[in-house]
Structure formats: C-alpha cells, structure tokens
C-alpha cells in the first residue's frame, strides 16, 4: 500500500456519494411517471404537435442517460469505499499497479490506472 491519505479520499467519496444520491432523488421527483404517461398527456392536449412529442422523447432519453450515469457513479464510489476498508484502494483492477495519487485526486472513485482506462475506452 502507498502513502495515500485514505481519510481524505473517504471523506471526498462520501461527500460525492451524498451529492449523487440527492441528484438521483431529484431526478426521480422530476420524472415520476413513465414516458407513456408523458406522451399521453401531450396527446390528450388540444394543441398537440409532433414537435412536442419529439421534445418529450428527447428529454426523457437525456434524463435516463443522466440517471444511469448517477447510478453507475454511486456503484463506483461504493466499490472505492469498500476497497478503502479492505486496504486495496488506489490499485488498478486490471494490472494491480497503483492508480496514482494525481489521478485519484481528480477521480477518487477511479477503478483503473490511466493506461487501462484508455485501453478500455478504446
């Protein structure tokens, strides 16, 4: 293990997790219904246009993408917190090398070293 300040990373991870959880709750409040409900409301309106339908679909896709991103980030943060407990925090999941303090400062929930992340991203 390295000389990483684990308490500092743990704090940052917990703060970020709280923020994301808040965002997820907000998104759920914003979009309690299904897309069918939204389209139904528009179709039931008197001044419905195709443009409104397209906008509703587009907004929905954006929100779902955002929700997925938030959920994935919480998963990554939980994994990072777990690794702090296990003493394996800061180690690349692929090659086992240290991820590096600089990268962890930017992305405390990083699971891969920069080389493996680039390989995975293609």
Site residues, Zn ion (CB under 5 A): 92, 94-95, 113, 116
What whole-number distance in Å separates Cα of residue 70 and Cα of residue 53? 26
Judged by CB, which is closer to Zn ion: 59, or 116?
A: 116
> Residue 7 CB, nearest distance to Zn ion (Å)?
25
> Residue 117 CB, nearest distance to Zn ion (Å)?
8
What whole-number distance in Å separates Cα of residue 26 and Cα of residue 30? 6
What whole-number distance in Å separates Cα of residue 67 and Cα of residue 48? 28
What whole-number distance in Å separates Cα of residue 107 and Cα of residue 96? 17
Judged by CB, which is closer to Zn ion: 13, or 113?
A: 113
> Residue 105 CB, nearest distance to Zn ion (Å)?
17
For 89-115, letters b (16+ CB in 10 Å) and e give: bbbbeeeeeebbeebbeeebbbbbbee
> Residue 76 CB, nearest distance to Zn ion (Å)?
16
Judged by CB, which is closer to Zn ion: 70, or 112?
A: 112
Judged by CB, which is closer to Zn ion: 18, or 95?
A: 95
User: What's the DSSP call for residue 82?
Assistant: H
């Amino acid at each position: 293990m390295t000389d990483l300040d684990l308490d500092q990373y743990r704090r940052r991870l917990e703060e970020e997790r709280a923020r994301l959880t808040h965002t997820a709750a907000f998104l759920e409040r914003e979009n309690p219904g299904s897309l069918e409900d939204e389209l139904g409301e528009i179709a039931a309106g008197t001044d419905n246009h195709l443009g409104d339908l397209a906008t509703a679909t587009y907004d929905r896709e954006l929100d779902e993408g955002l929700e997925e991103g938030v959920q994935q980030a919480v998963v990554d943060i939980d994994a990072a917190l777990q690794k702090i407990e296990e003493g394996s925090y800061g180690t690349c999941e692929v090659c086992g090398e240290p991820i590096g303090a600089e990268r962890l400062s930017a992305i405390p929930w990083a699971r891969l070293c920069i080389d493996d992340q680039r390989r995975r991203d293609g």
